[in-house]
């Protein structure tokens, strides 16, 4: 009886119905892993930091498409090995697909538009966008919908088929204009020299995209002279650039004894000045 069991086991293992599906599954798994690595290497090769997140989104989409295509192909091979009429099955699936397509038109529109968004470079996760007056960061992007999170934490979910026009703020540069208060007793040439040194340090920041500019005196106020400078960065980085720029300017002013004034009132006690 034991011999019969081993004979049957050997017969099962040596049959096409067993080893072809096993080999197909193993090869499919290995091919999927290999193609994922190859696609990642080819698409993200020599990618700059700004382009990397966009290329990673394309990599994810390509990997998923290839994975599902290979799985379907492997299933057809296995079913064919088990004697299933694959041609008839494909025909039946085609008819069912037409019916499902008519019933799920909106879902198909979302998927098609999701592919278009990636291929036409509308936006990717991490971009700052404005849609229908709502501004925020794209925190999640799928083939059916997109989630945008504003500064106050509100999350706006929009179906991809509705995204026919969107303003991507991350694909353009942003300008930071600062008005720096300096005491009247400080000489303009000296202030300009110190600000020029500060601007050189600001330009070395990773978020700085263009050489900063000294614009000169902007206004004469009651207690201070206002000097204006302009710095450049990517959209969304302007608040960080502003904070870091002010910190650098404060440091340079302290090192060079440039006085930052505070409101003052002159009292003459009724005497003629």
Residues 226 and 190 both lie in one domain: yes
- Check residue 222 and give its pLDDT: 83
Give 236 or 23, the one with higher predicted confidence: 23
Given 170, 191, 226, which residue is the final one in a domain? 170
CATH of the domain at 177: 3.30.70.100
Q: Which residues is 12 bridged to in the sheet?
A: none
Q: pLDDT tens digits for 9-18?
A: 666 666 777 7
Distances from the Cα of 89 to the Cα of 20, 33, 67, 83, angstroms: 20, 28, 21, 12
Residues 214 and 146 both lie in one domain: no
- Check residue 27 and give its pLDDT: 85
Residues 60 and 21 both lie in one domain: yes
Neighbours of 141 (CB within 10 A): 23
CATH of the domain at 54: 1.10.287
CA distance 167 to 171: 9
Residues 196 and 250 both lie in one domain: yes
- Check residue 90 and give its pLDDT: 66
Q: pLDDT tens digits for 197-235?
A: 999 999 999 888 889 999 999 999 888 999 999 998 877
- Check residue 238 and give its pLDDT: 82
Q: The pTM is what?
A: 0.46
CATH of the domain at 151: 2.30.30.60
pLDDT, averaged across the chain: 79
pLDDT band at 189 (very low <50, low <70, confident <90, very high): very high
Does residue 265 belong to any structural domain of this protein? no
Residues 208 and 148 both lie in one domain: no
- Tally of structural domains, the chain: 3
Residues 98 and 6 both lie in one domain: yes
- Check residue 1 and give its pLDDT: 47
Does residue 266 belong to any structural domain of this protein? no
Does residue 163 belong to any structural domain of this protein? yes
Burial of 249 by CB count in 10 Å (0-12 exposed, 13-18 middle, 19+ buried)?
buried
Taking residues 75-88, report their average pLDDT: 75
Using a pLDDT cut of 90, give the percent of the chain over it.
24
Taking residues 74-103, report their average pLDDT: 67
- The residue count of the chain comes to 273
Does residue 269 belong to any structural domain of this protein? no
| Domain encompassing residue 153 | 122-170
Residues 10 and 50 both lie in one domain: yes
The mean-pLDDT minimum among 47-61, 125-139, 172-186, 250-264 falls in 47-61
Check: CB of residue 143 under 8 Å from CB of residue 160.
yes
Residues 230 and 143 both lie in one domain: no
Does residue 271 belong to any structural domain of this protein? no
């Amino acid at each position: 009886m034991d011999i019969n069991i081993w004979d049957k086991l050997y017969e099962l293992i040596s049959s096409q119905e067993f080893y072809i599906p096993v080999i197909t599954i193993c090869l499919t798994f290995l091919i999927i892993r290999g193609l994922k690595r190859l696609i990642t290497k080819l698409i993200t090769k020599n990618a700059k930091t700004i382009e990397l997140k966009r290329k990673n989104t394309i990599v994810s989409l390509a990997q998923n498409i290839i994975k599902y295509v290979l799985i379907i192909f492997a299933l057809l091979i296995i079913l064919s090995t088990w004697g299933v009429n694959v041609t008839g099955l494909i025909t039946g699936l085609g008819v069912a697909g037409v019916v499902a397509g008519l019933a799920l038109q909106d879902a198909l529109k979302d998927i098609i538009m999701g592919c278009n968004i990636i291929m036409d470079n509308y936006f990717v996760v991490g971009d700052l966008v404005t849609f229908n007056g709502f501004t925020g960061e794209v925190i999640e992007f799928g083939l059916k919908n997109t989630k945008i999170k504003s500064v106050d934490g509100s999350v706006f979910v929009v179906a991809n088929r509705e995204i026919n026009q969107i303003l991507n703020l991350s694909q353009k540069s942003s300008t930071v204009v600062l008005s720096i208060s300096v005491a009247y007793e400080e000489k303009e040439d000296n202030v300009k020299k110190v600000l020029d040194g500060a601007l050189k340090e600001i330009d070395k920041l990773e978020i700085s995209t263009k050489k900063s500019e000294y614009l000169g005196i902007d206004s004469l106020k009651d207690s201070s002279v206002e000097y204006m400078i302009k710095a450049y960065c990517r959209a969304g980085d302007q608040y960080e650039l502003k904070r870091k720029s002010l910190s650098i300017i404060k440091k340079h002013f302290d090192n060079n004894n440039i006085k930052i004034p505070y409101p003052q009132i002159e009292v003459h006690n009724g005497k003629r000045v």
